[in-house]
Amino acid sequence: MPDPTGTADLLAALSLEEKAALVSGRGAWDTAAYERLGIASITLTDGPHGLRLAADEEGTGEFSLSNAVPATCFPTASALGSSWDPDLIARVGEALGAEARASGVGVLLGPGVNIKRSPLCGRNFEYFSEDPVLTGRLGAALVGGVQSKGVGACVKHFAANNQETERLRVSAQVDERTLREIYLPAFEHIVTTEQPAAIMAAYNRVNGVYATQNRMLLTEVLREEWGFQGAVVSDWGAVADPIAAISAGLNLEMPGTHGVSARRIVEAVKSGALDEAALDRAVAGVLRLVQSVPHTRDGADKVDFARHHALARQAAAESAVLLKNENSILPFDPEAQLSIAVIGDFAHEPRYQGAGSSLVNATRVENALDAMTGIAGRSVTVTYARGFTQAQDEREPELHAAAVATAAAADVAVLFLGLPAGDESEGYDRTHIDLPQDQIRLLEDVAAVNPRVVVVLANGGVVRTSTWEQHASAILEGWLAGQAGGAAIADLLFGKANPSGRLAETVPLRLEDTPAYLNFPGTTDSVLYGERIYVGYRHYDAKTLPVSYPFGHGLSYTTFAYSDLRASVEGEGDDVRIRVSLTLANSGTRAGKEVVQLYVGDPIAGVDRPARELKAFAKVELAPGESRDLEFELGARDLSYFDASEHRWILEAGEFELSVGASSRDLRLCETVTVDAPPRARRLSLDSTVGEWLADPVGAPVLISTLSGTGSSFQNPEIQRMVAQVPLGRLVTLTGGRIDAAKLDRLIAITSPDTPSR
Ligand code: BGC
C-alpha cells in the first residue's frame, strides 16, 4: 500500500512509549507532539454550531467549558435541521471551518447526527431530526462545508447515543435491523459521501459493549463496510478500557489521562495483552489526522464576523417553522397603522443556544424586540412588557398584569414564549415537553383581552402545543436560533423573509403518544429500543395517531401547487433506478421556498415496514407564478429493508408507493411503481419453517411432492397454513414418524446440495 505521508517511517522512528502517548490526548483538547519527527500537536474542540475554543486553553491543558474565544453562534442543529437546506448548511459549515482555521483548530467536534428517538433527550437541540435520511444529508453538508476549509469534522456520537440519562453507562439494547435502518444510516451517508476526518465514539454501550470498545461498530461497520479512512476519537472521558478500545479500532482517547492510559498500553504490549500491530494501526490513524488538518493559528482577525452574523441571520430565518397562521394574521405590514404589544422575556433576552459543550461565546446577540422596532415603519407602534422571568416557573403578578394591560391596549400581541435554559441541556434529559405553566397562563390571559395573538417559540427540543394553541392565531417555532435569531424573527414577522422551515421532528399531541414513551430512559444498565424502527413519524403513521403537527410540516406566506408526477423504472434488483419527476408552481403572491418531500412505502412486504419513509427532498425557491420541473432518483437501497438474519439489505420485487408532498401527512401526488428483483436465494434447512420452504420457488415443489407421498393431508391449504411456522425438522416428531428423517435429508440434498443435513 502506498504511504505518501511517511506514516510507516514515523511509526518505525517512534518508541513504544511515544506511540502509546500519541493515542491519548495531551491535556483537554490537544494531541501529543514530537518535534524531532515533525509531528505537530493539533487541537480538537467543539462544536456543532459555533467554535468553542477555551480562551485560557494555551498552556494550561485544563478541561474548561467556559471563557471561550468569541465566535459566531449559528442556530443549533434542531433549528438548522428544520431548514431542510443542505446548501445553506454547507455555507454554515464553511463559516465554522473558517473560524476554526483562523484559531488554529484542527478538528471541529461536530456535527451531532444522533436521531431524536424521544423528545425528552436533553440534547436534542444539538441533533437534526427524527429521520435518518434528512439527518444524513444535512450532516454531510455541514461536514463538506467545514472540511472545505481544510479543518477536519468529527461526526458524533457513534452510535445509538440518544439520551443523556446514564449516558456514560447505559447500554442501548437495539436490534440490528433498527440500528441499520434508523441509527446508522446518517453516519453511513456522511462517511461514504464526505469522508469526515474523524468520528467520535459515544459514551454509551451498544448491546452491552462500550461504543469506544465496539469492534463491530468501529472496525467492521465503519472501516470494513463503509470504507472510513479517518480517525476514531473517543467522546471526552468515554474510554473505560484503553486496551480494549485500541483493539476494537479506536485511534485517539480524549481528553488526556496524564499518562495513565499510555502506561497501561505500554504494559499491555509488553505482556502480549495488546497486539502492537493494533497500536500501530491506531497511531497511524492519529498521524494521518495530524498531518491532514491545520495546527497553527491563521489569525482570528481574518474572519469576516459581520458576514458570518448575516449568514446566521439567514440560517435562523430559513429554520423557523410557521406552524399555524389563521386568517393570515402574519406577516405584519411594516407600513400599516398597527400597534403591536411585544410580550415575554425572550423578546428582550433571547434564549438562542443550549447548555453544555456546545456553548458558544457569541460575537454579538440581537434580540427580536430591537429588531422589530427597527423594521417597523412610522405608523407601527411597538410596546413591550416582560410578562414573566425565564428563570422560574412562578407567576410574577406584577409582570403578568402589566403584560395583560399592554396586550389589551394593542391591536395585536406577539408573545415570545419558550423553555427555560434549565429545562434542556447536555448531561440530563427532560422530564416533560410542556412550556412553563406561568407562560401558558399569561397566554390565556392575554388572549382573553386581545384575540389577535401570535406566539413565537424559543426551545431546542420540541414542546407540546396542544394544551394552549387554541389561544394563538399564529405560531412561529423559532428554535434556538443563534446569535442573530432575534433579527431573523423580526424579518419573518414583518414579511421581509418568508418562512420556509419545515418540521424535522413531529410535534406530538402529548408525551404519552411518543414512540419511546414506555422505554425511555431505561434503567441504569440498559435502555430497550423496543419501538424498533418505528421512530418519529414512522410510529405515528403505523398507529394512525393524530399529532399536533406532522414531520415535514411548515407554512409559508405563499402557496405551492404540485402536478404531473411521473415515475419510470429502469433496471432491476441492485441496479434498479427510479426516476421521479413533477412540476412545482408558486401559486401565491409572494416569492417563497417550498420543501418538496418524496416518501416511499412498500405496502406488501415480507416483513413489517413503516407506512412511508422519507427518501429524497428538495428546497426550491420560486417567484410568484413561477414553476419548475423537479427530478429525483431512487436506487435499490431506497426501497430495501435490512434483514438481520442475513445481515444484508433486501430488495423485494413488487409494488412500491411513491408519494410527494409538503409534509408526511400532506401528500399531494402518489404513484405506484413495480420493481423487479431476483427471488431471494434462501438457504433452506431443517430449521427453516414449512412456510419458508413453501415461499421458496425451488423448495416449495420439492416439499409438496415429498410430503404428498407420505399419506398426510399436506396438500390441503388449511393444513399448510397451520404448520407454516413449524421448522421442517420437527415434522418427524409431530407426525409420529410418518414423515421420516431420511426423507427430509433427501429434501435438503436436492435443494441445497452443499448443506450438511444433520
Ligand atoms: C460531549 C461531546 C463534546 C465533548 C468535548 C462531551 O461531553 O458529549 O459532544 O464534543 O464533550 O467537549
Find out whether the peptide bond into 397 is cis, omega within 30 degrees of 0. no
Is 235 designated active site? Answer: yes
To test the ligand 1 pocket, which listed residue (199, 236, 359) has its Cβ within 8 A of the most ligand atoms? 236
121, 323, 430, 438 from 433: Cα distances, Å: 10, 17, 7, 15
To test the ligand 1 pocket, which listed residue (114, 357, 426) has its Cβ within 8 A of the most ligand atoms? 357
pLDDT at 756: 53
Q: What DSSP designation does 652 have?
A: P
Q: What DSSP designation does 277 have?
A: H
Question: Residue with the nearest Cα to atom 7 of ligand 1?
Answer: 236
pLDDT at 753: 62
pLDDT tens track for 685-731: 899 999 989 888 888 888 888 887 766 677 788 888 899 999 999 98
12, 89, 150, 262, 296 from 38: Cα distances, Å: 14, 35, 19, 21, 13
- When pLDDT is averaged across residues 9-17 and rounded to a whole number, the result is 97
- When pLDDT is averaged across residues 98-117 and rounded to a whole number, the result is 97
Find out whether the peptide bond into 448 is cis, omega within 30 degrees of 0. no
Of 3-17, 264-278, 398-412, 592-606, least confident by mean pLDDT is: 3-17
Residue from 68, 134, 79 nearest 663 by CA: 134
CA distance 199 to 254: 12
Please state the atom number of ligand 1 nearest to the C-alpha of residue 156: 9
Query: Average pLDDT, whole number, for the chain?
Result: 94
Å from CA of 357 to ligand 1 middle: 5
Element at 337 (helix H, strand E): none
* Cβ count within 10 A of residue 712: 15
Please state the atom number of ligand 1 nearest to the C-alpha of residue 126: 9
Å from CA of 157 to ligand 1 middle: 9
Å from CA of 142 to ligand 1 middle: 18
Question: Is residue 272 within 8 Å of 213, Cβ to Cβ?
Answer: no
Query: From the candidates 30, 85, 131, 235, which is the catalytic residue?
Result: 235
Is the per-residue pLDDT at 751 higher than 90?
no
- Reduced to 3 states (helix: H, G, I; strand: E, B; else coil), residue 707 is helix
CA distance 356 to 339: 39
pLDDT tens track for 31-69: 999 999 999 999 999 989 999 998 864 545 556 666 899
* Cell numbers representing residue 295 in the block: 495546527
Please state the atom number of ligand 1 nearest to the C-alpha of residue 65: 12
Determine what percent of the chain is predicted with pLDDT higher than 70: 96
pLDDT at 62: 59
Output 2 or 681, whichever has higher pLDDT: 681
Q: What DSSP designation does 421 have?
A: G
Strands lying side by side in the sheet with 171-173: 209-210, 205-206, 171-173, 526-528
Element at 438 (helix H, strand E): helix 437-449
CA distance 647 to 82: 33
Please state the atom number of ligand 1 nearest to the C-alpha of residue 357: 12
- The three-state (H, E, C) secondary structure of 345-400, written as one string: HHHHCCCCCCECCCCCEECCCCCHHHHHHHHCCCCEEEEEECCCCCCCCCCCHHHH
Question: Residue with the nearest Cα to atom 2 of ligand 1?
Answer: 235
pLDDT tens track for 606-615: 999 999 999 9
Sole residue written with cell 414512522: 538
* Cell numbers representing residue 75 in the block: 442556530
Question: Residue with the nearest Cα to atom 8 of ligand 1?
Answer: 235
Please state the atom number of ligand 1 nearest to the C-alpha of residue 427: 7
pLDDT at 319: 98
Is the per-residue pLDDT at 758 higher than 60?
no
Å from CA of 236 to ligand 1 middle: 6
Please state the atom number of ligand 1 nearest to the C-alpha of residue 29: 5
Q: What sign does the CA torsion over 604, 605, 611, 612 have?
A: negative
Question: Residue with the nearest Cα to atom 11 of ligand 1?
Answer: 236
Output 367 or 701, whichever has higher pLDDT: 367
Instruction: Kindly list the protein residues whose Cβ atom lies closer than 6 A to any atom of ligand 1.
Output: 46-47, 109, 156, 235-236, 357
Amino acid at 18: E
Å from CA of 457 to ligand 1 middle: 27
CA distance 720 to 715: 7
- When pLDDT is averaged across residues 317-325 and rounded to a whole number, the result is 98
CA distance 619 to 225: 31
Is beta strand 648-650 parallel, antiparallel or unpaired with respect to 641-643?
antiparallel
pLDDT tens track for 378-397: 999 999 999 999 986 677 89
Q: Per-residue confidence at 752, pLDDT binned at 50, 70, 90?
A: confident
Question: Is residue 387 within 8 Å of 344, Cβ to Cβ?
Answer: yes
- Reduced to 3 states (helix: H, G, I; strand: E, B; else coil), residue 83 is helix
pLDDT at 724: 92
- When pLDDT is averaged across residues 285-302 and rounded to a whole number, the result is 89
Å from CA of 200 to ligand 1 middle: 9
Amino acid at 504: A
Element at 661 (helix H, strand E): strand 654-663
Q: Per-residue confidence at 744, pLDDT binned at 50, 70, 90?
A: confident
Question: Residue with the nearest Cα to atom 3 of ligand 1?
Answer: 357
To test the ligand 1 pocket, which listed residue (30, 44, 45, 46) has its Cβ within 8 A of the most ligand atoms? 46
Å from CA of 314 to ligand 1 middle: 27
Is the per-residue pLDDT at 302 higher than 80?
yes
DSSP class per residue in 125-180: GGB--S-HHHHHHHHHHHHHHHHTTT-EEEEEEETT----TTTTT-EEE--HHHII
Å from CA of 39 to ligand 1 middle: 25
